[in-house]
A = this chain, B = another copy of it.
């Protein structure tokens, strides 16, 4: 009998970063699928900053994880046993099945991966998955890049930021990243082809960003919020667009950071908009096709941080929230 291992939520988060006390690893026999269900062996688990929002007992854009429930998350796996007509053993699938080895769930929860595509499976959790689609819709639908404009993106070496910047380069923008540390900045300019990258850890964000954006900032794709957003507001041009996609900086702070430069939103007629990729669910195929095309043509590079084994998930998650990852954070489950 196959044994499932699953990380469950042991305690709600009440501000600050999660620790060992928030998670509990539970072992149980994998459940045989009922009619319409599929049993999957997960291979890759995606860890993403949004998950912290699900650990808090408050209103968020989707239902949070309940105490004792399996931590939410997207994974790529292989069908082991199927009681659903559309799935057969051996097929590769992606689904939001959580931090566990052997999920059993309705077939409708899974999307089949085209086995003929010559793409690593893990990419369906990164540049060809939710982060890639988030970048695609946030940039195109809210950022609306025009050739010659300057785009700034924070968490630039991360799963979403790296795609945002590369898509903006394809659109003809001057692209400036913000990342933590020289190594990440070098990767962003050297490998990903951004025009510049500012190391926020160097402590001169305003000065360095101003220097990197001599014509001001037309689009800011914000993955971090807080002081970085406030600093960008001092440098935006008239009619700038700000895509509010994440606020990882908000997860650290005991007290929420107060944005002081809202006057710039008025003076510069800035449009600032929060986005969640689910809102474009009916257009995922369009994004998938565009992203796969760019990848095939070598215009979309990606990098992964891999933690080994289901046991490592909480530590890898915490490390990512602190910026310890370098590229898309994954857990290799099998």
Contacts and interface: CB of A to CB of B under 8 A. Distances in A.
Interface of A: 53, 59-61, 225, 229, 238, 244-247, 250, 256-263, 265-276, 279
B269 A279 contact: yes
Contact of A276 (B246, B256, B263, B269): B269
Contacts of A276: 266, 269
Select the residue from A262, A269, A276 with max chain B CB neighbours within 10 A.
Answer: A262
Quick one: copies of this chain in the complex? 2
A279 B238 CA distance: 11
A37 B17 CA distance: 68
Given A257-B258, A257-B260, A258-B258, A267 B225 contact: no
Contact of A273 (B260, B269, B274): B269
Contacts of A279: 269
Contacts of A258: 257-260
B59 A267 contact: yes
Contact of A269 (B257, B259, B266, B274): B274
The 8 closest A-B pairs by CB, nearest first: A258-B258, A266-B274, A256-B260, A259-B259, A265-B274, A272-B272, A271-B273, A269-B274
A60 B271 contact: no
Contacts of A259: 258-260, 262
A223 B32 CA distance: 60
A270 B245 CA distance: 11
